[in-house]
Amino acid sequence: MNETDDKAPANQVGQIAEPVAPVQLPATVAQPTEPHAVVEHHPPGRRRVWAVRLAILAIVGGGIGFLFWQAHRAPAIPAWIVHGNGRLEADPIDISTKFAGRIAELRADEGDAVVGGQIVAVMDTRDLAQTLQKGEAQVEQARKSVDEANSTAEQARSTTVLAAQEMDRAQKLLANGWTTKEVADQRRQQLDSARALQDAAEHRVTEAQNALKAAQHDAELTRVNINDNTLVAPRDGRIEYRLANVGEVLGVGGKVFTMLDTAYVYMDVYLPTLAADKVKIGSDSRIVLDAYPDRPIPAKVSYLASQAQFTPKMVETKNDRDKLMFRVRVKIDPDRAHAHASEVRSGLPGMAYVRTDDGKEWPASLQGRKE
């Protein structure tokens, strides 16, 4: 083997040990894409316009809100005025039956304004009418008995007068000796008998007169019962509820209507201890209803509770005493309430303000109506 042959295998071995680099071919490789926000670019002038608009809206909105707050905010209350919330009430009056019976007629309904003495319902009184007729017949009979007794008594009085005259003549004749003592005794006995009969007749007159009075009282009682079965409004007011209907049979004291006394209108409020201590009977007050916030109504304190209405179990500390609540009634003047009876609505919520210092003037918002 020659030298060339010896080298040939060595070259081949080297080629195998060192691989040939791959041929780089042109190719397109996909690169990963990253998400990115799209930014809009506004011109500087446009941004300034939007800023001005937002500022104007903020100013206008703030002004409107301030005006609304000014219009609806509660008025400032001085320290010498105490207040509490409550509801306007009118004194309720039940129109009820005095006797058991059937309703024959209703002459009023809910919401009607009534005056004192007005007939609002009529009960069935046919049985009482029959009783009245019987009583009137008894009165007539008793009156005849009185007339008869008077006639008898008048006759007895005449007999007594005659017996007294005969007795006088007999006494004179006896004194002159022209008659006997026996005749005189007979005339005295006749006089005594006539007087006794007269007394009995007069007693019968008295009895007959008493019987007549009793019959008259019975008849009058029946008339009263008939009148009491005619239900009337005791005072001026307004019918609030109708509780029965025509034809219903009610027991004694059965309610037919509930009316409101529109002359007795008030509001009960509850004040804490420190506020209630400053209030006294007759203190000037104002009632402001939620429905009429700009029309305060003048009133006076008419009642102060002597005991707390809401009392904690244990009252040992000042904080507990401050939690005590006392009921205070603020009443509207009856003449004013009557003049505005059509405006009275029981149950309207509102506030009552009480002035604790008579030397202070009411704020303008609580001056009250002049009429």
What tens digit of pLDDT does each residue of 165-221 get? 998 988 888 888 888 888 888 888 989 999 999 999 999 999 999 999 999 999 999
CATH of 81-91+261-366, one of 3.30.230.10, 3.30.70.1560, 2.40.30.170, 3.30.428.10: 2.40.30.170
The answer to whether 229 touches 122, Cβ cutoff 8 Å, is: yes
Highest-pLDDT range among 190-199, 220-229, 310-319: 220-229
Percent of the chain predicted with pLDDT > 90 = 51
Boundaries of every domain in the chain? 81-91+261-366, 95-125+230-249, 126-228
Mean pLDDT of the chain: 82
Within this chain, domains 81-91+261-366 and 95-125+230-249 share the same CATH topology: no
Cα 359 to chain center, whole Å?
34
Please write the tens of the pLDDT for every residue from 106-164: 999 999 999 999 999 999 999 999 999 999 999 999 999 999 999 999 999 999 999 99
With bands split at pLDDT 50, 70 and 90, how would you rate the model's confidence at 353?
very high
CA distance 276 to 309: 12
pLDDT attached to residue 360: 86
Q: For 41-70, what is each residue's pLDDT tens digit?
A: 555 566 677 777 777 777 776 667 666 555
Helix residue ranges per DSSP H, the chain: 3-17, 44-72, 126-176, 181-228, 273-276, 318-322, 334-339
Nearest to 357 by CA among 74, 82, 85: 82
Topology of domain 95-125+230-249, CATH: OB fold (Dihydrolipoamide Acetyltransferase, E2P) (2.40.50)
Q: Return the residue matching tokens 């007549």.
A: 212
Four-CA torsion 275, 280, 283, 289, nearest 10 degrees: 50
**Whether the model pTM is above 0.75:** no
